[in-house]
Structure 1
């Protein structure tokens, strides 16, 4: 990755050839990103993903997290601690949850804000891939730096109205940071997420480390992925809202 530590001599030496080069467009950057992470064919060949990892809060709180996804837009997220497992799921049409931490064992519908979040999480390929077909808008707003690394800054306006800024490494073209702006119960909230520890999984280049914090906050939440499996059998009923109470059978 490039750094910002350029001397006056090096700036003078490279400024002319850089000026002669045409700047990439947002579509150019996305195309290079898709190529870097494996290419469209390999990505499309992956039909299911299962991620297993550990959630760590800023106070040292830890939990086991599992996310299961099925193309194009089904997702199930589990959060387990002290023998209890919370579930958020979306079957492509409706969302539901089980919240044992709040003393609730039966499935219930997601709130409007929870629904918006899980619909975004259900996007199997993430917002940049085939963004036009998804109703998203992408604009290159310039260049920036993230901890000394040169990045292209892409503004992504999701179909939901939320705005994300992806900071794409100018060498690898993968996102190393994302800022999210959204309105929650009438109040603007901004979150920044950093991505790292990229590894190949079934030909797909994915981050195994994600750390998020509210903008301006010193505390953070980190997810460290221990395993990602692809094209594993996932019963479609796992995304469907159970018809019986949570304690009455396997979920």
Structure 2
């Protein structure tokens, strides 16, 4: 057989395989977007305010998170009557931790700003190409007995995530994130469940989070309330003087 013919056949097969893989990723993402409420709803999602209780080290810790799409993130965690604040506003971030004796806001390191900035995207895989995210279908796996698609992506600031998307519901059942903090590779695993719709948009009301900085510990977060598209005073993201 002509060697040039074989070469062309191999190239055609590889190109064909790549097209099928890309189409498969898009099919999975489209079904996931539908499961989360649909493209029309997600396109209108501009802000959320979430109140949750987090169980960590046998303590119940209330957490309030406020996010404005692509603009700002702020979390307030109350421990023993003191409130720890973390916030990002565009490319800058700050924190206030009275438990460590810090009564004034201090600037967050660049790695922490990148990690929190990635959280300002409320719509995830929706419109991922326009956002500049790179997605790859890594195969299939299982999460607590449920069959899932394993889809990796790179988001803002070079943060890498692997999304474990249910083959049944197309919800994301687990997210594994990897990033660098102070020269150390940090891995976070978030197992999600108890999905409910608020104003037509799906949220995971229960999350079990493990972090490589706290080996052996699991943080259990349960959402109490979600406000969608409420008016947010964006000055709350700015670092106090």
Secondary structure of 2:99's counterpart equals helix
The answer to whether 1:39 aligns with 2:38 is yes
Q: State the match for 1:62 in structure 2.
A: 60
What is the match of residue 240 of structure 2?
A: 242
What is residue 185 of structure 1 aligned with on the other side? 182
Q: Structure 1 residue 52: deviation in Å? A: 0.1
Query: 2:28 aligns to what SS in structure 1?
Result: helix
**CA deviations over 1:115-140 (Å, ceiling 9, x no partner):** 122111112222x2222222221011
* CA displacement, residues 113-170 of structure 1 (integer Å, 9 cap, x when unaligned): 22122111112222x2222222221011111111211100001122422321111000
Aligned to 2:16: none
Check the 8 A contact 1:78/1:86 in 2, yes or no. Answer: yes
Deviations 1:209-239 (CA, angstroms, capped at 9, x unpaired): 1111136943211111110011212111111
**1:49/1:110 Cα in 2 relative to 1: closer, same or farther (>3 Å)?**
same
Match of 1:163 among 154, 160, 163: 160
Give 2:217's aligned residue: 219
101, 106, 109: which one aligns with 1:108:
106
Which structure 1 segments of 5+ residues have no match? 1-21, 244-251
Q: How does the TM-score come out when normalised to structure 1?
A: 0.82
The whole-number CA distance in structure 1 between the counterparts of 2:187 and 2:49 is 28
Relative to the length of structure 2, the TM-score reads 0.85
CA 1:78/1:34 → structure 2, altered by over 3 Å: closer, same or farther? Answer: same
Runs of 4+ deviating beyond 6 Å: none
Partner of 2:74: 76
Per-residue CA deviations over 1:35-78 (Å, capped at 9, x if unaligned) read 11111111222322110011111x21221100011123311111
Contact 2:149/2:164 (8 A) holds in 1:
yes
The answer for the alignment partner of 1:233 in structure 2 is 231
Supply the RMSD in Å over aligned alpha carbons. 1.9
Paired positions, count: 220
Partner of 1:247: none
CA offset digits 1:160-184 (Å, max 9, x no partner):
2232111100011110011122233
Say whether the 8 Å CA contact 1:51–1:67 is kept in structure 2: yes
SS in 2 for 1:120: helix
User: Structure 2 CA distance, aligned partners of 1:219 and 1:93?
Assistant: 31
Partner SS for 1:160:
helix
Of Structure 1 and Structure 2, the greater helix share is in: 2
